[in-house]
Amino acid sequence: MIQSKFEKFNDNALKKILVVLLDALLEEGVEDPIRHNLEDEEVFEIVENTIKMMGFEPEWDDIDFIFALYSLNFNSFNEESKIEGSLVKPTISTYRYEIDVFERVSQRLTYEHTYESYSEKNVFPLARKADEEGYLSIWDGNQIDSDIFDTETEHIKWDYDSLRKIK
């Protein structure tokens, strides 16, 4: 389980970080955590740089914790950009989500078939003719091997509707 180093900080230290973060976000006009989030590259960089300014090398979990803390306490800032009262701290949870990957695939599939014939020389010609005329399908055999030798990703879709908290 990940754990941000900032989870161990007291409220006063965290409030100082949040005040610096708010000032930086206000300066860029991206302070509202409902409209702007870490998916905005600008917001991500501001959170990362704020942590660096405070003398820490940020990890992914630190950026996650600080922005979640900021979002939870956004309405607690007063007119002087100070936080009143105790902080509401985020807790770690586990989430499940899906990503759809649309690819064009070049592959070899091997199907094993059986065919009854009076002669070995006649098996392939008769089996092909049966396939062409719809009496046999190459996919009716047992797939015994496959080899994907090339893929081309055409599109990736992050399925936001699939996000579910599981713990």
pLDDT tens-digit map of 36-92: 999 999 999 999 999 999 999 999 999 999 999 999 999 988 888 888 889 999 999
50 and 106 inside one domain: no
66 and 45 inside one domain: yes
Which domain, by its residues, includes 77? 5-92
135 and 67 inside one domain: no
12 and 87 inside one domain: yes
9 and 79 inside one domain: yes
| Overall number of domains in the chain | 2
132 and 157 inside one domain: yes
12 and 42 inside one domain: yes
Three-state SS sequence of the chain? CCCCHHHHCCHHHHHHHHHHHHHHHHHHCCCCCCCCCCCCHHHHHHHHHHHHHCCCCCCHHHHHHHHHHHHHHHHHECCCCCECCCCCCCCCCCEEEEEEEEEEEEEEEEEECCCCCCCHHHHHHHHHHHHHCCCCCHHHCEEEEEEEEEEEEEEEEEEEEEEEECC
46 and 115 inside one domain: no
pLDDT digits (tens, 9 = 90+) for 77-128: 888 888 888 999 999 999 899 999 899 999 999 999 998 889 999 999 999 9
Tell me which of 43, 63, 92 is where a domain ends: 92
